[in-house]
Amino acid sequence: MLNFRTLQRSLLGVVAAASLLPFSTNASTLYVAPGGAGDGTSGDPFGRIADALAVAVAGDTVLLKSGVYSERLRTVRGGTGSSRLVIRAERDGKAILASGAGTVVRVSHPYVTIRGLVVDGQYGPYDAVIVDSAATALVLQDLEVKRSSKDCIDMRAPANVVVERSIIHHCLNATNGRTDAHGIVAGAVRNLVVRDTRIHTFSGDAIQLDPGRAAPGWSALTIDRCQFWLEPLLRAENGFPVGTVPGENALDTKTLSTAPRATVIVRQTEAWGFRGGLITNMAAFNIKENVNATFDGVTVSRSEIAFRLRGPGANGGAWARVQNAVVYDVGTAVRYEDNIERVQVWNSTLGSAIPRFFRAASSTSTGLDVRNVLFLGSGSTMPGGLGNVQSTAAFFVNAGAHDYRLAPGSPAIEGGVSINSVSRDRIGVSRPQGAYWDVGAYEFVH
């Protein structure tokens, strides 16, 4: 039963919706608890999230008490740039939204923050989370999104979306042996940021943009301090047998050929386990079409291909720069294809267990620029280039443990050439520390 305050706020919400401007006179916290039947106060909470969202307006917080909510969350209105609408768990990870009857969370309004929830799609044949194009400036924080038979998070074409401090996993579809189910997939997004987030166990890609190549094209993607991985399944899961490596890539780019060149920045991110799967040429980073991609401080291991960089073709082709990278235990470190126009590999360390450092596929090396790279071991196809050095384990602090920091006295110290664009190493140390750049991903601090 609604009290006067709730009824008043409901009427305000109607007025706000009618004027198309989220509205709040006094920001409030509206409480929800499974089994509740009250008016949204802490001591007498609503019983459904939908009841709180029906009256919540810009500036309000919808606070979900611990428990399982067998319902789907749909925004009714959003916030403003200065007064967001917040939907969050009272205790992170303790408010569980579980539904296999449809998309669990759908955000269709701007300036919304959703924090601390567990979103369980229960392997229903739906995206677990849908972000509509109108959901400008959405922030998804501290979420766990899991068990979707389609994409775990599917974004249409919103702008300025942030996904951070979240874990996304078990996005799996075994139809026809394997069908794409991505961790995050987006259409013509503008300025999507994914940071401090882990994505694993998917049958598509950890992140894919834009499978539909939709107009007007996507414009910017930033991935910062993330982890993406695949491993053989420890048990049968949603149609996949035990031992299957179900997915494809950590990142896959598709773009509208007539759109301006999209930008990708990947920093301080780890990817592993992209091998032994159900596709050929399995790569951690599959970068293609009309993009300008920069990888800085990235680590790739235990994969068939670390960087698969693909050339012009009908859609323009990628430009790619890899700097301050550490790569080890991969079949091929860099595969460049189709006469790609620009591949820059600078100040990186290609460590142990790499039988092939570079591989050309229907491509000349005209676009290849490799400088200040340390090559450990006897892998084939070490390219020429200024400042490149063949190394031994003695160059490093502990190559056996894949600690590729430079040991005191390493011949790589001050052995490189100046590259002004690589002004810091993979952990933020300024380059150069001495008179000249060091070779490899790390700058030695004297």
Q: Is residue 418 domain-resident?
A: no
Domain count, the chain: 1
End-to-end CA distance of the chain: 71
CA–CA dist 206, 285 (Å, integer): 10
Q: Is residue 427 domain-resident?
A: no
Q: Is residue 440 domain-resident?
A: no
Q: What is the mean pLDDT of residues 295-302?
A: 98
Q: What pLDDT shows up at residue 306?
A: 98
CA–CA dist 50, 157 (Å, integer): 25
Partners of 31 in the β-ladder: 63
Q: In the numeric block, which tokens belong to residue 349? A: 């360390």
Q: Find out whether 171 and 196 touch, Cβ atoms under 8 Å.
A: no
Q: Is the pLDDT of residue 287 over 60?
A: yes
Partners of 64 in the β-ladder: 32, 89
pLDDT in tens, 78-99: 999 999 999 999 999 999 999 9
Q: Is the pLDDT of residue 27 over 90?
A: no
Q: What pLDDT shows up at residue 377?
A: 74
Q: What pLDDT shows up at residue 380?
A: 67
Q: What pLDDT shows up at residue 379?
A: 64
- pLDDT class of 7 with cuts at 50, 70, 90: very low
Q: Is the peptide bond before 411 cis (omega within 30 degrees of 0)?
A: no
Q: What is the mean pLDDT of residues 313-330?
A: 91
Q: Find out whether 30 and 64 touch, Cβ atoms under 8 Å.
A: no
Q: What pLDDT shows up at residue 378?
A: 72
pTM: 0.94
Q: What is the mean pLDDT of residues 360-381?
A: 89
Q: Of 198-202, 311-315, 365-369, 417-421, which gets the smallest average pLDDT?
A: 311-315
Q: What pLDDT shows up at residue 313?
A: 72
Q: In the numeric block, which tokens belong to residue 428? A: 């933020």
Q: Find out whether 302 and 272 touch, Cβ atoms under 8 Å.
A: yes
CA–CA dist 51, 294 (Å, integer): 45
The b-or-e profile of 50-80 (16+ CB within 10 A means b, else e) is ebbbbbbbbbbbbbbbeeebebbbbbbbbbb
Q: What percent of the chain has pLDDT over 90?
A: 90
CA 344 to chain centre: 23
Q: What pLDDT shows up at residue 5?
A: 43
pLDDT in tens, 32-83: 999 999 999 999 999 999 999 999 999 999 999 999 999 999 999 999 999 9
CA–CA dist 58, 112 (Å, integer): 9
Mean pLDDT over all residues of the chain? Answer: 93
Q: Is residue 249 domain-resident?
A: yes
Q: The tokens 């390219």 sit on which residue? A: 383
Q: Is residue 62 domain-resident?
A: yes
Q: Of 2-16, 54-68, 393-407, which gets the smallest average pLDDT?
A: 2-16
Domain limits for position 331? 4-406
Q: What pLDDT shows up at residue 1?
A: 39
C-alpha Rg value of the chain to the nearest Å: 24
Q: Is residue 314 domain-resident?
A: yes
- pLDDT class of 382 with cuts at 50, 70, 90: confident
CA–CA dist 116, 94 (Å, integer): 8
Q: Is residue 367 domain-resident?
A: yes
Q: Count CB-CB contacts under 10 A for residue 163.
A: 28
CB-count exposure of residue 35 (10 Å: 0-12, 13-18, 19+): exposed
User: Would you list the DSSP string of 214-253?
Assistant: -TT---EEEEES-EEE----SS-BTTBPTT------SEEE
Q: What percent of the chain has pLDDT over 70?
A: 93
Higher pLDDT, 152 or 366: 152
Which one, of 346, 349, 350, 322, lies nearest residue 419 by Cα?
346
Q: What pLDDT shows up at residue 383?
A: 80
Q: What is the SS3 assignment for 164?
A: strand
pLDDT in tens, 237-273: 999 999 999 999 999 999 998 999 999 999 999 999 9
CA–CA dist 45, 34 (Å, integer): 9
CATH number, position 196:
2.160.20
Q: Is residue 417 domain-resident?
A: no
DSSP label at residue 5: H
